[in-house]
Amino acid sequence: DAKTTQPPSMDCAEGRAANLPCNHSTISGNEYVYWYRQIHSQGPQYIIHGLKNNETNEMASLIITEDRKSSTLILPHATLRDTAVYYCIVSNPTGTASKLTFGTGTRLQVTL
């Protein structure tokens, strides 16, 4: 699976958009981009995933560049409850040997 690079930490004011970047320059054609977050002492929570096109759900939007070498997770109106570690993961989901390998993630601190 391709490796990802994320900034170790970011701050965001409550109510503003949080834009979390991720570089995955070695991503291959059949690998998806997944985003998870982990609030302190809880299990990771799935947020969103995509292959090529931009994706949006009730939690967030995922913007993938045309060359697929980077992506951005957007939380449109961050709240204090969005404070967490955010993980960007690339993985090929096919076959019985697929797996999610977590990197070090971005610690997002949302402040008043």
Partner 1 sequence: DTEVTQTPKHLVMGMTNKKSLKCEQHMGHRAMYWYKQKAKKPPELMFVYSYEKLSINESVPSRFSPECPNSSLLNLHLHALQPEDSALYLCASSQDGGGRFGGYTFGSGTRLTVV
For partner 1, the binding residues (CB under 8 A) are 32, 34, 36, 41-47, 49, 85, 87, 91-105
Task: State the nearest-atom distance from the C-beta of 62 to partner 1, in Å.
Answer: 12
Q: Which two tokens stand for residue 43?
A: 């299990």
CA dist., res. 92 & res. 1, Å (int): 7
CA dist., res. 22 & res. 34, Å (int): 11
Nearer to partner 1, 25 or 104 (CB): 104
Distance of CA 60 to the CA centre of its chain: 10
Task: State the nearest-atom distance from the C-beta of 36 to partner 1, in Å.
Answer: 7
Nearer to partner 1, 31 or 82 (CB): 31
Task: State the nearest-atom distance from the C-beta of 37 to partner 1, in Å.
Answer: 11
3-state helix, strand, coil in the chain (%, to 5): 5, 45, 50
Among residues 90, 93, 74, 71, which one has the least CA distance to residue 82?
Answer: 74
Task: State the nearest-atom distance from the C-beta of 40 to partner 1, in Å.
Answer: 10
Nearer to partner 1, 15 or 56 (CB): 56
Nearer to partner 1, 12 or 35 (CB): 35
